[in-house]
């Protein structure tokens, strides 16, 4: 599936690259690396710095984790990450940050949605 078509609740395998256009989505009941739990629209006209993306993740992803999983992030074993558009996609108007949860170095079976 196209990476920019990921939706909340989608599970996927690690694309294995920093920049990618397609991902392999799988059923959440199957082993997977990532689960999308929040989509956020990032504002601005110029492409954000890595620090700006990190700050947006703190603002949008962190609070959504607790609501999605029903767990306190600080007490959870899961980590938060995010996918963002590359500069070309940004210049084409893509402003969506896709927040995901994962367990570093391991696959997960089952959705973490409460």
Say how many CA atoms lie within 13 Å of 40 toward its Cβ. Answer: 24
On the question of pLDDT at 106 being above 90, the answer is: yes
Grade residue 107 by pLDDT with cuts at 50, 70 and 90. very high
- Are 55 and 64 in contact, with CB atoms under 8 Å apart? no
On the question of pLDDT at 21 being above 90, the answer is: no
- The 10s digit of each residue's pLDDT in 5-17 is 999 999 999 998 8
- Residue 110 falls within a domain, yes or no? no
- Residue 108 falls within a domain, yes or no? no
- Residue 44 falls within a domain, yes or no? yes
- The 10s digit of each residue's pLDDT in 38-68 is 999 999 899 999 999 999 999 999 999 999 9
Q: State what percent of residues in the chain have pLDDT above 70.
A: 100
Q: Which two tokens stand for residue 17?
A: 């690259």
pLDDT at 66: 96
Chain-centre distance of CA 68, in angstroms? 13
- Residue 65 falls within a domain, yes or no? yes
Domain that holds residue 47: 3-102
Compute the distance between CA of residue 17 and CA of residue 77 in angstroms, rounded to an integer.
24
- Residue 113 falls within a domain, yes or no? no
- Residue 91 falls within a domain, yes or no? yes
How many independent structural domains does the chain possess?
Answer: 1
- Closest to 111 measured CA to CA, from 78, 63, 85: 78
Q: Tokens 């969506």 map to which residue?
A: 96
Consecutive H or E run containing 59: helix 50-69
Compute the mean pLDDT over every residue in the chain, rounded to the nearest whole number.
Answer: 96
Burial class (CB in 10 A: 0-12, 13-18, 19+), 17: exposed
Rounded to two decimals, the pTM is 0.94
């Amino acid at each position: 599936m196209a990476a920019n078509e990921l939706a909340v609740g989608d599970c996927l395998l690690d694309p294995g690259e920093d920049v990618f256009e397609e991902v392999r989505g799988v059923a959440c009941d199957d082993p997977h690396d990532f689960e999308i739990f929040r989509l956020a629209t990032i504002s601005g006209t110029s492409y954000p710095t890595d620090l700006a993306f990190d700050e947006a993740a703190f603002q949008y992803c962190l609070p959504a984790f607790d609501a999605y999983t029903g767990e306190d992030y600080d007490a959870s074993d899961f980590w938060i990450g995010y996918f963002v558009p590359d500069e070309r996609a940004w210049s084409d108007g893509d402003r969506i940050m896709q927040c995901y949860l994962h367990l570093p170095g391991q696959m997960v079976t089952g959705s973490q949605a409460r």
